[in-house]
Every structure is written in structure tokens, then in C-alpha cells.
Amino acid sequence: MANLTLMTFSVSKKEIKDFFRAESTVSALRVVIGVFTPVLLLFYFKENQLAIQVLLGGSFISAVDLNTNFVSKLKIYLTAFILTLILHSSVILLADSTVLLNIFLAIVIFLLAYIAAFDFNMAMLAFSGYLSIMLGLSFSARIEVDALRGHLSGVLTGELLYVAYSMIVFYLYKPVLINRKISDLLNLTADYFDLRLKYLTTDSFKEEEVLYNLAQFQTALNPKYDEIRDLILKERMDLLGSKRKNELYLFIFIELIEMFELALVTHFNPQTYQEIKKKYPGTVSIEDTIAQLPGILRELSQYVSQKKGKVVSTPDVFEKLNYLDKIVSELKQNKNPSKEEVKDFRIINRFNIYLKHQINKIERLIFLTSGRDNLVKMDFDASRKHNFIPARKLTKDAFISNLTLDSSYFRFAIRMAITSVTGYILAGFLHFQNPNWVLLTILVIMKPGYSITKNRFSQRIYGTIAGALIVLPLAYLNISPLLGIFLMAIAFFFAFSFLPKDYVKATLFFTLFVLLLFGVLVRLNTQIILFRVIDTIFGGILCYIAIRTIFPFWEQKSIPVFINEAWSSNKQLALYVLEAIKTGKIDKTTYRSYRKDSYVKMANLISSYNRLMTDPKEKQKLEKNSYNIIMNNYSFMITTSSIGVYMTQFEQKVYDLDLVSPHADKLIEELNYTKEIKILTAEKNIQTSVPETNIEPDSLAPEVLHTRFLIDQIERLSILNESIKSSFIS
């Protein structure tokens, strides 16, 4: 029962403050106000029946109150509006015909579960449908067919009231929402710099482990990038002159991504850095400077989110870089440098260039966030922003192509339909008081993945038991309907606040909400509370059995697809930057589009690997080879991006094309030849990181050093490509 830490309320003031500032809490408050304000007013004026109907409508439609763009929000509201009314009325009409009702439930639940597997928006739409079904079953015994029209009118009123309220509030709140998301991204970028500094100054360094941790960090960022892209890039409404604001947000977003990319591709070996620091004590300013960057970003984050405090400045950071400038200048004066001195110069100069670029990015962010965007020139073609909009996962082609047992989505939908309808029928056969509670338990616990379903099974039981114990005293009190609705609003608020981060607590408050609803409709008693617990345990057990026995789908079947998608996008990015080297020109918007696709596919692959690691041990046969290929691909992506950064960020690009071009041509030919990756169960040794060449030029001339850098990066890519090709490509 260790998970029941919710029963101990020893929380600090900071934790309370963070809770009420969290995005989930703000969203929950918005939903509660929209749903319960008209309900409380109607109860106050003794319109109890209409109040319950409005509550149902508001609850159905609020499930799809998503932080997306204006037009998408309207579309999903309209879809949910039609869907919930049809489903709610259908189950009420079919309630007396058991066979037809069960057939209807099986078909509808299959379709809802199928679309839910595609993405989060569809999952919330499906949840809205589930809710309308479950509450339709709950109310079917209380509503005569003649009274159905009046009931649906009340539900319709609740949905319309909530939609009108939500659209007004959203448009007013949207700038604040984007500010909060940009602020969060600034904080996460600061966390990334902290992580890089930790690795730079560590005594024990394992490059593969570092790459893996950085890859995990980047994967966690990807959904946040997509949320911002969706809010900024897909907006087609220009009410209240929001176009310029959206453009400003876009430029801030681009700068943050490129700060992250700069940190990602500038990979320094801690041992090399420690050696340099001993020989040139002034280079300690490197870590001093990096250590200052997170603080500046966090100050900027606070300014963006709250518009409080002074505008951030960076003079101290530039002072520290003067030490590096001095060392670089002194090394440059040596007309006949040794190989060792050339190496030292390259490393120190690379640090110097990297830090100056990062500080330049921070200054641009300061100008953009403080309204001085006229001082920032952005190299971005806004007419091509559609290339950066997150792709819709549920398309007509995707819907049709996944209707096969080879698809995890299709298997999940069948499993959900069979388990939920079977649970509902069994609960009725066993004379459970509310069989629809078993149905709801299965619908909310079961997910496509094995691990999350297994975890939710135990979490749901813990939360339900705790909620039942808390609400038990109310069974002995005669509370008024108005007080019951008020308590429901509080439970509803905390349930949605905790849902993204603590499922046990969320379940506790959802249990309170459901039981309080029954307390308003009929007098609450201990039998209702007991059956709520029994129904949850019964439904949870069915889910646990079904996830392993009814058309199970293990991640080892999906991960080869994600590996090849990531490999394909990495190759496309590499081919583009290699051609750019040959022509000496690169289109920044095109490069950013290829880069975005590569980052997204890489994040999808790492997420798939994380799911693989939570499957049963006997279902992880591809784990080792998958890990090696992922690390190889990640190294490939970083190395490719380092060339991309050079081509897009350096104004003075000087290299000997005659020396670089043969290496680029050879790699282009190799990449065009490379076919699909075949994942094997027999363990293979794959090179996941390639050390820098030991060959040093005999000059500090920029052209010589730039040429050496490009050849070294191209050769690294060639080695990584050859490692995969020799091991996994027939």
C-alpha cells in the first residue's frame, strides 16, 4: 500500500504553490467553472432535474476542452457534440433490448477505442463518448421514452453553454497559455544546460550512457514542441490582431529549438576538457559561463510567464568570455604551432564559438520577449510554416491501413470491445448493482500498452478504496442536493488537476465525484459504496487478464517500424546537408523542416524502446540490438546536425571543396544504397559513437580547420552508416 501516499498530507508551501500554478490545475479550474456554474445556479433556483441534465452535457463536452488552436477546437467540439448526443440517446433507447444493446456497445466501443489509439485528441474524444454511454446506461432506468426529448434538450443546453463559455475563455486565455508553455520550455532548456554542465565536469564519463540520457531528455521535449507548434502554426483566426503575436511566439520558439540544437551537437569530452583546463587555467571560464546560462534562462522564463522583474541582460557572461578570447588570440600568434597546440586551439576555439552563439541566442530571446523584436532578423519563411505543423495521425488512409491484426491499434480496439462488453454482461449476470461501473472501469483502465494498463489496474484500486473510505461518512448524513453538487465540483477540480501526474489521487477524487453524483440522484448508502469498490476490482482484474490473452500486442513488433522511420529521416537530413556542403548554400527553412522530422522520428523511436522495456522479459528479445541501433541513429543525427549548424549558423564558411567533396560524394552514394534495416534476435555489435580523428592539421588557418571539421564529421557518418549496413542490411 506504499502507493497510498496521498493519505499523508505533509506538503510544503512550494509544493502547494506549484500545484496551483500547474497547467493541469488551471485547466481543471476552467472546466469546473464552466460545468458547475450553471448547475449550481439551477439547483439554487430548485430546477434540480434540468441542473442534472446540464451537468451531463457539460461533463460530456468538457472532456474535449483541449489546448489546441481555435479552429481545431471548434471542430472537435462539433464532433463531440454530435457523437455524445447520439450515443447517449441510443443506449437509453436500447436499454430494454439486451441483445441489441450489447451488439451496439461492442461496435461503438470498438470504433471509439480504435480512433483513441491514434493520438491524444482522439483519445479524449473517445473518452467523451465513453462517458455519454456510461451515464446513458445509468439514467436509462429513470427516463421514459416520452421524456427522452426533454432530457436531451437539457443535455444539449449544457453542451452549448459550455462550448460558448469555453471558446470565449480560451481566446482570452490563449496568449497566457502560450506564454506559460514558452516559459516551461525556457526552464527545460535551462535544465538541459545543467545536465550538459554535469557531464562536462564529471570524473567518470561513459559516452554511451550520456548519449542515452540526453536522448531521453530530448524525447520528453518532443510533445511540448508539438503543443506549441499546434497552438502557433495551425491558428487561422486573426481575432483581436493576434497574427503578429503568433509570429513573435514562433520566432521565440525557433530560437529555443536552435539553442537546444547547438548544445546537442557541441559534444565535449570531459577528460579532454580537464586536460585543457590544467594547461590553460583561464579556460575554467568555460564551465563558469555555462553555469550562468541556466540562471539567465530561468529569469527569462519568469519574465515571460509573469511579466515581473527586470529584463534580463548578459554583460557578466561576456566578461568571462574575454578570458577565452585572450587564450585563442595568444595561440593564434604562434606561426609554427605543434600538433598538440593545434588540437588545443581547436578545442578552446570551439568552446568559444559555441558559447558566443548561445549568448547571442539568449540576447535575441531577450529582444523578442521584451518587445524589441525589431532588433532581431529572423531567417524563416513564414509562407512554409505548414511544413512544421504536427501531422494528423488519424487520416482516411491510416484508418483503413490499420484495419488488420498486424496493427496494434486494431488489436487494442478488439480487446477493448470484447473485454468491456464481456465485463458488462458478467456484471449483470452476477447481479452487480451497477454493471455500467464495471464497463467504465474497463474503458478507463485499459490502454494499448501492457505496462500502463498493469499500473493503472493497481492505481485504480488504491484510489477507489481510498475515495470510498473518505466518502463513507456521508452515507450516514442527509446532505442537501446543493451541497452535494458543491462537493462534486471540488472533487471534479482535484480529479482533473491530478490526472496528468498522479493517477491514484485522480482516481480518489473521481470516485468521490461519482459517489456524490449518486448521492444527489438517490440517497447514498454503504451498499452503493461497497459495490463501487467491487465493480472496480472486478473490472480491473478483467483488464489485467485481457491485456495478456486477448490479441496481445508486444512492442517488439512495432519497434522495427520506428527504427526504419528514424533511419529514413536521418538519411534525408544527411543527404540534404551533404548537398549543401557541395553547393555552399543552404535554405534554413528547408533544413529546419528536415531537422524537425528527424527529431520527431527519433523521439518516436525512443518512446517505442521505453515501451519495449516495460513489456514482460520474455517479450524483449530485440532489446539489445534495438538499443544499439537507437544509439547509432542518435549519434548519426547529432553528427549530421553538427554539419547543419555549421552551414546555417556560421557566416564565414571557408573550406576546401576539392578536399571535402570526395568524402561527401562517397557518403551520398552509400546512403542512397542503404536499404531497410532488419532487426535480428542474435546480438550484434554496432558502433554507437565514433571518436574524433587523431590527425591534426599543421596550420591554424580557418580554411584548414573548417575543412578538417567537415571531413571528420562526414567520416563519422560513414562509419556509423557502415556499422548498421554490415550488421543489419542484407
Is 199 within the bounds of a domain?
A: yes
By residue range, what is the domain housing residue 173? Answer: 169-380
Confidence of residue 575 (pLDDT cuts 50, 70, 90): very high
Verify that 579 and 639 share a domain, yes or no: yes
pLDDT for 10? 54
Q: What is the mean pLDDT of residues 128-154?
A: 90
Query: Quick check: 627 and 616 in contact, CB under 8 A?
Result: no
pLDDT for 418? 97
Task: Give, in order, the Cα–Cα distances in Å from 591 to each of 378, 381, 588, 598, 672.
Answer: 15, 12, 5, 11, 19
Between 129 and 515, the higher pLDDT residue: 129
Confidence of residue 122 (pLDDT cuts 50, 70, 90): very high
Between 384 and 406, the higher pLDDT residue: 406
Query: Quick check: 419 and 446 in contact, CB under 8 A?
Result: yes
pLDDT for 244? 64
pLDDT for 11? 64
Please say if the pLDDT value at position 4 is more than 60. no
554 in helix, strand or coil?
coil
The Cα 721–Cα 706 span in angstroms is 23
Verify that 537 and 611 share a domain, yes or no: no
Q: How far is CA 463 from the centre of its chain?
A: 25
Between 715 and 475, the higher pLDDT residue: 715
Residue with cell 479550474: 29
Is 44 within the bounds of a domain?
A: yes
- Cell triple for 82: 454530435
Confidence of residue 211 (pLDDT cuts 50, 70, 90): confident
Is 7 within the bounds of a domain?
A: no
Is 290 within the bounds of a domain?
A: yes
Verify that 376 and 409 share a domain, yes or no: no
Verify that 276 and 252 share a domain, yes or no: yes
Confidence of residue 684 (pLDDT cuts 50, 70, 90): confident
Percent of the residues in the chain that have a pLDDT greater than 70, as a whole number: 93
pLDDT for 310? 57
Residue partners of 323: CB distance under 8 A and separation at least 6: 282, 283, 285
Please say if the pLDDT value at position 616 is more than 60. yes
CB atoms inside a 10 Å sphere around CB 86: 13
Between 500 and 118, the higher pLDDT residue: 118
Q: Which helix (H) or strand (E) holds 708?
A: helix 702-728
Verify that 455 and 370 share a domain, yes or no: no
Window from 31-45, 371-385, 441-455 with minimum mean pLDDT: 371-385
Task: Check which CATH number belongs to the domain holding 304 and give it.
Answer: 1.20.58
pLDDT for 39? 94
pLDDT digits (tens, 9 = 90+) for 179-197: 888 888 899 999 988 988 8
The Cα 571–Cα 671 span in angstroms is 7
**CA atoms within a 13 Å half-sphere pointing along the CA-CB vector of 620:** 14
Verify that 700 and 565 share a domain, yes or no: yes
| Single residue among 329, 345, 380 that ends a domain in this structure | 380
Percent of the residues in the chain that have a pLDDT greater than 90, as a whole number: 38
The closest of 492, 558, 551, 488 to 524, measured between CA atoms, is 488
Verify that 503 and 594 share a domain, yes or no: no
Confidence of residue 352 (pLDDT cuts 50, 70, 90): confident
Is 395 within the bounds of a domain?
A: no
By the 10 Å C-beta count (0-12 exposed, 13-18 middle, 19+ buried), 614 is classed as: middle
pLDDT digits (tens, 9 = 90+) for 249-284: 888 888 888 888 888 887 677 888 888 888 888 888
Please say if the pLDDT value at position 697 is more than 80. no
pLDDT for 6? 42
Radius of gyration of the chain from its Cα atoms, rounded to whole angstroms: 29
Confidence of residue 239 (pLDDT cuts 50, 70, 90): very low
pLDDT for 205? 67
Verify that 372 and 254 share a domain, yes or no: yes
pLDDT for 5? 41
Residue with cell 579556460: 283
Task: Give, in order, the Cα–Cα distances in Å from 564 to each of 216, 568, 575, 604.
Answer: 19, 6, 16, 11
- DSSP sequence for 320-387: HHHHHHHHHHHHHT-SS--HHHHHHHHHHHHHHHHHHHHHHHHHHHHHHHTT-GGG------GGGGGG
Confidence of residue 307 (pLDDT cuts 50, 70, 90): low
pLDDT for 401? 92
The closest of 393, 392, 391, 386 to 592, measured between CA atoms, is 386
pLDDT for 168? 92
Please say if the pLDDT value at position 316 is more than 90. no
| Single residue among 495, 527, 549 that ends a domain in this structure | 549
pTM to 2 decimal places: 0.85
| Single residue among 347, 380, 413 that ends a domain in this structure | 380
Verify that 281 and 328 share a domain, yes or no: yes
Verify that 560 and 692 share a domain, yes or no: yes
The closest of 426, 667, 449 to 547, measured between CA atoms, is 449
State how many domains the chain has: 3
Backbone angle region of 46, left / alpha / beta, with phi > 0 → left and psi within -120 to 50 → alpha: left
Q: What is the mean pLDDT of residues 587-601?
A: 92
Note the residue count of the chain.
730
The Cα 648–Cα 379 span in angstroms is 10
Please say if the pLDDT value at position 238 is more than 50. no
By the 10 Å C-beta count (0-12 exposed, 13-18 middle, 19+ buried), 9 is classed as: exposed
pLDDT for 97? 92
Residue with cell 503575436: 245
Is 511 within the bounds of a domain?
A: yes
Please say if the pLDDT value at position 560 is more than 80. yes
Please say if the pLDDT value at position 246 is more than 80. no
Task: Give, in order, the Cα–Cα distances in Å from 151 to each of 63, 347, 430.
Answer: 20, 74, 30
The Cα 115–Cα 118 span in angstroms is 6
- DSSP sequence for 628-669: HHHHHHHHHHHHHHHHHHHHHH-S-----HHHHHHHHHHHHH
pLDDT digits (tens, 9 = 90+) for 518-543: 888 877 888 888 988 999 999 999 99
Highest mean pLDDT among 511-515, 574-578, 688-692: 574-578
For the chain, the maximum distance between any two Cα atoms, rounded to a whole number of angstroms, is 99
Mean pLDDT of the chain: 86
Verify that 537 and 411 share a domain, yes or no: yes
Confidence of residue 311 (pLDDT cuts 50, 70, 90): low
Between 569 and 454, the higher pLDDT residue: 569
Residue partners of 684: CB distance under 8 A and separation at least 6: 625, 628, 727, 728
Residue with cell 448493482: 433
Please say if the pLDDT value at position 63 is more than 70. yes
* 562 phi and psi angles, rounded to 5 deg: -65, -35
Verify that 229 and 350 share a domain, yes or no: yes
∠ CA(582), CA(586), CA(588), 5° rounding?
A: 160
Please say if the pLDDT value at position 124 is more than 50. yes
pLDDT for 595? 93
Is 306 within the bounds of a domain?
A: yes
Is 385 within the bounds of a domain?
A: no
